[in-house]
């Protein structure tokens, strides 16, 4: 596990994430099979390959458009604004201090995650577990509270974070002012291991695609 010391959503953070399969983007396509999963996985791999290459003006405009759309998203703004309050509640509830982390990758730097926080362990295990914090709109939070389980839409992100860090526990907190918080302790299980195998397979698939693209470039532009 490698920890990259930077603040999230800064140029340094975006640079650290470039080309890395990041947990917030994980989904069923990683372990799924069939045309739909294969198409989604290939699209994601190609996006990551392009992350580390020089982009043309049209790509830059498209990425700027997507970034601006997210910055104006009310739900995203709400989540960002309430996260410090949610983190403070968690610290008071757990009696532990949450350490803010920029970006974490596996030793090879192929897969990564941006935890909302990490909890210090002991001399043998520096980190005990991580935490994922969500501050959704009230109706969404109340639905999650009634379900009382890790939401499917965040399952891959949470288990992916455990797969990347090698940790056996990740806490999930859904927080909404004026309502009871939802705090779930998620443990590493068979789903985590299946996801890790899928991520390793996707890295190998990326490497094959990069090699093929390089050979095509060489055939078109290499010396005769």
Let me know if residue 76 belongs to a domain.
yes
pLDDT value at 223 more than 70: no
How many folded domains does the chain comprise? 1
Query: What pLDDT, in 10s, does the model give residues 45-99?
Result: 999 999 988 777 666 677 677 666 666 788 888 888 999 999 999 999 999 999 9
Query: What pLDDT, in 10s, does the model give residues 106-129?
Result: 999 999 999 999 999 887 788 999
Supply the CATH number for residue 178's domain. Answer: 3.90.320.10
- The predicted pLDDT at position 71 comes to 65
- The predicted pLDDT at position 64 comes to 72
**Which residues, including other chains, have CB under 8 Å from residue 150's CB and lie 6 or more apart?**
158, 172, 184, 186
In angstroms, the CA 113 to CA 101 distance is 10
Let me know if residue 224 belongs to a domain.
no
Q: Is 33 exposed, middle or buried (0-12, 13-18, 19+ CB in 10 A)?
A: exposed
Report how far apart, in Å, the C-alpha atoms of 47 and of each of 51, 63, 115, 141, 188 are.
Answer: 6, 11, 22, 32, 29
In angstroms, the CA 166 to CA 224 distance is 48
Stretch (H or E) spanning 54: none
Let me know if residue 223 belongs to a domain.
no
- Output the pTM of the full model: 0.91
- The predicted pLDDT at position 77 comes to 87
Range of the domain at 91: 2-218
Q: Report whether 132 contacts 116 (CB < 8 A).
A: yes
Let me know if residue 209 belongs to a domain.
yes
Let me know if residue 151 belongs to a domain.
yes
Query: What pLDDT, in 10s, does the model give residues 178-212?
Result: 999 999 999 999 999 999 999 999 999 999 999 99
Average pLDDT in the chain: 92
- The predicted pLDDT at position 4 comes to 94
- The predicted pLDDT at position 84 comes to 95
Query: What pLDDT, in 10s, does the model give residues 126-179?
Result: 899 999 999 999 999 999 999 999 999 999 999 999 999 999 999 999 999 999
Strand partners, 172: 132, 184
Q: Report whether 46 contacts 209 (CB < 8 A).
A: yes
In angstroms, the CA 174 to CA 132 distance is 9
- The predicted pLDDT at position 70 comes to 60
């Amino acid at each position: 596990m490698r920890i990259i010391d930077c603040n999230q959503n800064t140029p340094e953070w975006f640079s650290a994430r470039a080309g890395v399969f990041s947990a917030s983007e994980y989904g069923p396509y990683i372990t799924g099979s069939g045309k739909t999963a294969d198409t989604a996985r290939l699209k994601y791999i190609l996006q990551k390959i392009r992350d580390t290459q020089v982009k043309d003006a049209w790509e830059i405009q498209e990425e700027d458009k997507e970034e601006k759309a997210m910055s104006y998203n009310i739900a995203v703004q709400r989540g960002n604004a309430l996260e410090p309050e949610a983190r403070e509640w968690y610290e008071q509830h757990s009696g532990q201090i949450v350490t803010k982390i920029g970006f974490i990758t596996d030793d090879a730097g192929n897969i990564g995650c941006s935890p909302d926080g990490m909890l210090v362990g002991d001399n043998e295990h520096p980190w005990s577990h991580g935490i994922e914090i969500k501050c959704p709109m009230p109706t969404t939070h109340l639905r999650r509270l009634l379900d009382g389980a890790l939401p499917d839409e965040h399952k891959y992100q949470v288990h992916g974070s455990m797969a990347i860090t090698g940790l056996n526990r990740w806490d999930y907190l859904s927080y909404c002012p004026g309502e009871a918080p939802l705090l779930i302790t998620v443990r590493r299980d068979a789903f985590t291991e299946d996801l890790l195998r899928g991520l390793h397979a996707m890295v190998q698939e990326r490497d094959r695609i990069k090699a093929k693209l390089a050979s095509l470039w060489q055939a078109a532009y290499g010396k005769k």
